[in-house]
Chain A
Amino acid sequence: METKRPDPDKLLERAVSEEKRQRQGKMKIFFGAAPGVGKTFAMLGAAQKRREEGVDVVVGIVETHGRKETETLLDGLEILPPRTQHHRGRDIREFDIDAALARNPSLIIVDELAHANTSESRHKKRWQDVQELLCAGISVYTTVNVQHLESLNDIVRQITGVIVRETFPDSFLDRADEIELIDLSPDDLLQRLKEGKVYIPEQAQKAMENFFRKGNLIALRELALRRTAEQVDEQMETYRRDAGVRDIWPAAERILVCIGPNPRSIRLIRAARRMAAGMKTEWIAVHVEAPSHIKPSEEDLKILAEHMRLAESLGAQTVTLTGYKASEEILNYARQRNVSKIIVGKPTHPHWRDKLFGSPLDEIVRGSGDIEIYVITGDAAETTAKSSARPIPPQINAKEWFWCLGAVSICTAIAGFMFPYFDRTDIAMIYLLGIVITSTRTGRWPALAATLMSVAAFDFFFIPPYFTFAVNDIRFLVTFGVMFVVAYVITRLTLQIRELAEASRKRERSTAALYALSRELARERKKGRIFDIAVKHISEVFQSQIVILVLEEHGELTASETGVGTFAVDQKELGVARWVFDNRQSAGLGTDTLPGAKALYLPMIASSGVVGVVGVLPENTQKVFDLENIHFLESFVNQTGMAMERVILAKEANEERLKAEAQNVRNTFLSSVSHDLRSPLAVVAGAASTLLEKEASLDRPARLELLRTIHEETDRLERIIRNVLNLTRLESGAIGVKKEWQALEEIIGVVLNRISERLNECPLELKIPPSLPLIPFDTLLMEQVLSNLMENALRHTPTGTPIEIIVTPQKSAVMIEIADRGPGIPVNEEEVIFSKFTRGTNTRMGAGIGLSICRAIIEAHGGRIWAENRKGGGAVFKFIIPIEGTPPHMISEKELP
């Protein structure tokens, strides 16, 4: 007994689909058994009611078929003008999806869901238009008849004998939020038909003889009722699930259907879909790439892809397996996936083949164990119809035939030499060897020919009577037979092994290609490089030209600049890419959406959404990607998308970190600066208020002392502000370093002049070599470095001790030292004092900013600044300015006018 406990995956799935649904529009389907039951009428009636309720209702397209009652119901409803298209010599009115999306109503009326659009339209089918409307958040009212349902298609054909070409997938019906069955008894419908309420009289007569026979109508009605009942049942189940009724979780059943390029497969697919829907289980469509089918014709591949697509559109998961024995592969896979039922087709080939080579069906049945096997018949009429449209092109490869002929000739020659000395059995062996070698090199037909030729040659040359095909001894016929069968079996086996090896090599290549891409992508940190890599790999593997489109800042999709292997995207193609981006679905060449596009476009889906679109233009324009190829391409594209997302996320995280860091720096900086600013301000404010309030009582020396304090402190304030401003400007890049060839003595002079008053207290020792070359630096910034260092020295050196300035030219640089006899720098703080927010522990007020601006300036000049303690006490600040470039040319005075 299997346990019935809630599947966490399903819970998650439900949560996700729920969320998706909320953003999407709601769909109500007015479902009928046959034309004329009054679906459109009911739909328009409901629309009118909604309009009266104040809902923004628009009629997208409605076919009234000239019915008066229906037309009156259109009164007062806004009708979108249809797109008129000239198709096969007549004008056809088509639903205008772009106009509908632009109008963006809350509810739109779109009649006849199963309608097939003209080839110029965006989608092949109208239901795809509806799907897009729903995705855009627009609710839809639509109508459809039961005969258009994909899975009922062949049943309907069996009942009515009419092939319905306009179909739509069952999965789309399943996603309807509401289904309203418009029911009319067959008698009433026929009555309406007779009254001309459905078709104009002559058409009605014709219709009654064909489709509208009473028996048909009863059967169709039953189908419609049953389908609706199923739907209601499903809704009930969903409701119960939502309501927390746990009991009804279905047992984990899975259905597997085996399909191939054979047209019978369509029937199998539909049967599987019906069974899966009835049991409310998931189902898998499997195709086994068995070696004998390894080189199917292009036509077969196309049909197979179509079948796979059909299965997918009906809600199946599609899988392609590779293996020598189809039965084994299927059973293994079925066990792996816990499949409970397998659906296979009834074999159509002659019975003797199964007896000779084994029957896959037999093997499946025998090996199935507790898996149930359903065998379903094919449809002969369809098979022949389709197979006649499928010519098998004989592939003639001269080289292979040459091999075949050559092998037989050589074998005959060797056998000729051996004949006098060896037995006939050994001669036969030589031929077998030749056949084995041939089959390792050639295809099926040359190998078979080699077998036949070998038998013939054996007979002709070595069986008496010699040099005739006649045979004396009837026993030799047995020898020929055995020889032929052995040779044929060997050929087949050899070919199968070869083809299997080739198939797995192909798989391996695909996997390796994907792995190579992801490995290369994993190393990249730049968007541009990721695109280059993706373009390179995808174009190589798929022999196509690739373009990667990403959203630019202004919200438009733009082809990214990549190297070789891309193609230009014109405005029309860009529209396709845009659609893909907005709808997160592949479109263009080889798909059902906008198949007229010259390239295939796939969305790059990453965890956070669509990050771009990849366009794929096959080099061979005749080539259309099959489903497997598209899946494989999707893996490539999604790998790229994920790599891109990783880069984007990494960039964002980095930016975030930098921002936080900068914020932190700013905060510390601000608090440090405000401290430095506040202390001189406090002194100024205090001194000024004393002067104001106590002016009368203060004597002259006291007043002067206060005034001098104010003057000095404002000086200090000014210096701090200048430092702060320059530091922030330099760091933000607002001021650049304007290097000019300057005389260093001159700038030292400016600084000394500025502080000349304070220099009276300390003797200054200048050691500047007399012939100092011009040095490239920014005057104003260098002036600030020098004055900050001088300030620093003055502040720390005790009165009366000397301050030294020493300039030493070096090889292509110059070193400047400013030394004092102060307390020196505390051990291990030689570096810290240059950081922005530190002040030396022994009250180096404001030096933090002063020294850090010095460092910033010197480093901006490509130089270096550091501090040391001097022998005999005191600190020395040293910096080096490189002399780069060629000094300016000086013309001598004699050359001047």
Chain B
Amino acid sequence: MTENQAIVLLIEDERQMRRFLRVALESEKYGVLEAETAADGLSQVATRNPDVVLLDLGLPDLDGLEVIEKLREWSAVPVIVISAREKEGDKIKALDRGADDYLTKPFGAGELLARIRVALRHASPKNQDQGEAVFVAADLRIDFLKRQVFCGTRKIHLTPIEYRLLTVLVKNAGKVMTHRHIIREVWGPLYVEQTHYVRVFMNQLRKKIETDSTRPRFLLNEPGIGYRFKE
């Protein structure tokens, strides 16, 4: 009886998609609930209390973005948006309105399961206090108390902005962070339109902590949306 008994609610109108997701999820021992419409989905969130919601944006009865808004009025359940929409604007809107992550159709099962794990971990109560003093991913080590970053044994010197940028991403490791979100956290709300700040500093940061900055291992770019720290 581990965390894998978590319950995933699929709000998706396409039967084939639900079938594939059910097989993929059940193979990982997740409990699966299905809803075909937004209304059904919302009522199942209220009555069945799922641990993660997989939400398709193109539902027959209600726009996915509105579902997120309604849901966020009374529930903090992690929501992963799955959408065939190419429009980056929709993904950013979904994230800004409270979705935790997104996946663009078509996607592989491995990718999906990884995202669900991240979402569950961030939602679990023991991570809420953020009390961990040291973060480790591969050979990257961050000591939050001493504000020090190591690559293997080599100590890396970061400017205050670079350090703040890194910690914001690391604390949300695995989750996509929009440009605006990052800027608000690092530079403050006055600078939200200056997205090039993130790009320039991210470039600098990559050169310092990545072995090959053009093929980054940790600091991944989500084109048009933002960045994600990959553990």
Contacts and interface: CB of A to CB of B under 8 A. Distances in A.
B196 A752 contact: no
B196 A740 contact: yes
Contact of B214 (A714, A718, A766, A897): A766
B215 A774 contact: no
A896 B187 contact: yes
B215 A741 contact: no
Interface of A: 714, 718, 722, 725-726, 740-743, 745-750, 752-753, 756, 766, 768, 774, 779-780, 783, 888, 890, 893, 896-897
30 contacts: A714-B106, A722-B86, A741-B196, A742-B196, A743-B199, A745-B203, A746-B199, A746-B202, A746-B203, A746-B221, A747-B221, A747-B223, A749-B213, A749-B214, A749-B216, A749-B221, A750-B223, A752-B215, A766-B214, A768-B214, A774-B199, A779-B224, A780-B224, A888-B196, A890-B197, A893-B159, A893-B160, A896-B161, A896-B187, A897-B188
A725 B84 CA distance: 12
B6 to A, nearest CB: 27
A710 to B, nearest CB: 12
A752 B214 contact: yes
Nearest to A752: B215
Contacts of A893: 159-161
A774 B214 contact: no
- Give the residue among A714, A726, A893 with the most B Cβ atoms within 10 A: A893
A743 B203 contact: yes
Contacts of B215: 749, 752-753, 756
Nearest to B197: A890
Interface on chain A toward B: helix, strand, loop, or mixed SS?
helix
Interface in B172-231: 187-188, 194-197, 199-200, 202-203, 213-216, 220-221, 223-224
A11 B223 CA distance: 76
A520 B202 CA distance: 63
Q: Which 7 A-B pairs have the closest CB atoms?
A: A741-B196, A779-B223, A888-B196, A743-B199, A749-B214, A780-B224, A743-B203
Contacts of A753: 215-216, 220
B69 interface: no
Given A743-B199, A780-B224, A748 B214 contact: yes
A722 B213 CA distance: 27
A756 B224 CA distance: 21
A748 B206 CA distance: 14
B188 A888 contact: no
Contacts of A743: 199-200, 202-203
A415 to B, nearest CB: 100
A438 to B, nearest CB: 88
B88 interface: yes
Contacts of B161: 893, 896
Contact of A740 (B195, B216, B220, B221): B195
Contacts of B200: 743, 774, 890
Contacts of A748: 214
Contacts of A725: 86
A890 B195 CA distance: 11
Nearest to B161: A893
Interface string B125-145: 000000000000000000000
A888 B194 contact: yes
Nearest to B213: A745
Contacts of B199: 741-743, 746, 774
A897 B196 CA distance: 18
- Give the residue among A742, A749, A896, A897 with the most B Cβ atoms within 10 A: A749
Contacts of B106: 714, 718
A768 B194 CA distance: 25
Given A714-B106, A745-B203, A749-B216, 11 more contacts: A718-B106, A740-B195, A743-B200, A747-B223, A749-B213, A750-B221, A752-B215, A774-B196, A774-B199, A780-B88, A896-B161
B202 to A, nearest CB: 7
A179 B159 CA distance: 107
A766 B195 CA distance: 26
A745 B214 contact: yes
A829 B60 CA distance: 48
A722 B188 CA distance: 36
A727 to B, nearest CB: 13
Contacts of B159: 893
Contacts of B194: 888
Interface in B19-75: none
Contacts of A745: 203, 213-214
A743 B203 CA distance: 8
A752 B216 CA distance: 9
Contacts of A888: 194, 196
A255 to B, nearest CB: 80
B67 to A, nearest CB: 25
A685 B53 CA distance: 32
Contacts of B197: 890
A581 to B, nearest CB: 48
A568 to B, nearest CB: 47
A348 B214 CA distance: 111
- Give the residue among A741, A746, A747, A766 with the most B Cβ atoms within 10 A: A746
Given A746-B202, A893-B160, A780 B223 contact: yes
Contacts of A746: 199, 202-203, 221
A72 to B, nearest CB: 72
B146 to A, nearest CB: 20
- Give the residue among B88, B223, B224 with the most A Cβ atoms within 10 A: B223
A766 B212 CA distance: 11
A303 to B, nearest CB: 77
A890 B214 CA distance: 22
A288 B53 CA distance: 98
A107 to B, nearest CB: 59
